Amino acid sequence: MKIVTLVATLFFTTSLFSQTSIPDDTSSVDKVIKAIYGIISGPAGKRDWTRFKNLFDKEGTMGIIYENKTDGKILYKKFSPEDYIANNDPYFLKNGFVEVETARSENILNDIAQVFSNYEYTSNGISQKGVNTFLLYRDNKRWYISSLIWKEEPTVK
């Protein structure tokens, strides 16, 4: 009886520790894209940054394309998901932010995907539209974001 109890205890303990708290966000391109929007959107408060980082390849990058206000030049700023978290977490803790996908086009060939995802976000009474561009790849088990770059639509002057 002691052996049966020991085996059962080991089985259940192993099962509990092998489970992850990260949802299945990576089994399809659609799930990855929906997860990004779901993680960053919400009322003021904490975001699930562990889940966010899990979507990216270990060398994955993010970036923004924007217009320099002083000379009008178009610039690109590249950063890591960790940089994104460090720069945006203080804002999200104090402010609601909701970004929704409004349209999508995909080009998927076997284990590589390019996705253009139009979005609109609202925060503190401000609404803005833009496009996210995702480059993803799949290994035998899951999809990873290799690159996520976005650009907001120009504001009317």
Q: Given this model, what pLDDT does residue 140 score?
A: 86
- Indicate the residue type of 122: T
pTM for this prediction: 0.83
CA distance 25 to 34: 8
Residues 6+ positions from 26 with CB-CB distance below 8 Å: 32, 35, 54, 55, 142, 143, 144
- Coil, strand, or helix at residue 31? helix
Q: Given this model, what pLDDT does residue 17 score?
A: 41
Mean pLDDT by 10 residues, the chain (157 residues): 47 44 89 98 98 97 95 96 98 98 98 98 96 96 97 79
Contact 123, 98 (CB under 8 A): yes
Q: Which domains does the chain have, with CATH numbers?
A: 24-152 (3.10.450.50)
Residues 6+ positions from 41 with CB-CB distance below 8 Å: 97, 98, 99, 100
DSSP state for residue 156 in the 8-state scheme: P
CA distance 103 to 133: 12
Residues 6+ positions from 106 with CB-CB distance below 8 Å: 29, 113, 114, 115, 116
